[in-house]
Amino acid sequence: MQNHYAPPRAVVADISKAGSGITDTMLTHLRATRPWTLLVAVVLIIFAVFMLLGTAGIILGGLAVSMGAKGVGESLAIFLVLGIVYGVGAVTYMLMGIYLAKYSSAISTVVMTGHAQDMTQALEQQRKFWKLAGIITLVMTVLTVIWIGALIVMPELMTGFKGMH
């Protein structure tokens, strides 16, 4: 017999029940990982803050140097480029720190609740961190190859320019 006063029930097969598939060993490993991810997150954020201060120092220093130097445009341009590169590094460190801090927080939630949806959220935060780390690795590899190529070609170009004068 059907009870018309009972609350409606939904059958959703693709949503895991709380705690399903999450073992005590998984939670133990997450619990042991959290202090390290939090430490690295805090250090990355602190580095980012110092790098942002350094960025401001580089740009202000460039302005100060360029005011009293000949060739104002060249010296200011060098400082601005250095400041921008340093600033991009600072933002990158900040993002990595934020992703790890969110992962650490999500670990705390998973350990408390044991819910599969909380584990999914933790893994999503970890995925974002590693995606950014992978992109940084690829960019730095390409820039390193370009830099090495420039170091190999530069002496030849400089010799060629000397011979032209």
Closest to 89 measured CA to CA, from 40, 39, 42, 139: 139
pLDDT given at position 19: 43
Question: Could you report the average pLDDT of every consecutive run of 10 residues in the chain (165 residues)?
Answer: 70 47 90 96 97 93 76 76 92 96 96 92 95 95 94 82 58
What local confidence, expressed as pLDDT, does residue 161 receive?
62
The answer to whether the Cα torsion of 139, 141, 142, 148 is positive or negative is: positive
Q: What is the pLDDT of residue 64?
A: 82
Q: What is the pTM of this model?
A: 0.72
Distance CA 137, CA 146 (A): 14
- Domain spans of the chain, in order of start: 25-154
**If DSSP states are collapsed to H, E and C, what string results for 72-121?**
HHHHHHHHHHHHHHHHHHHHHHHHHHHHHHHHHHHHHHHHHHCCHHHHHH
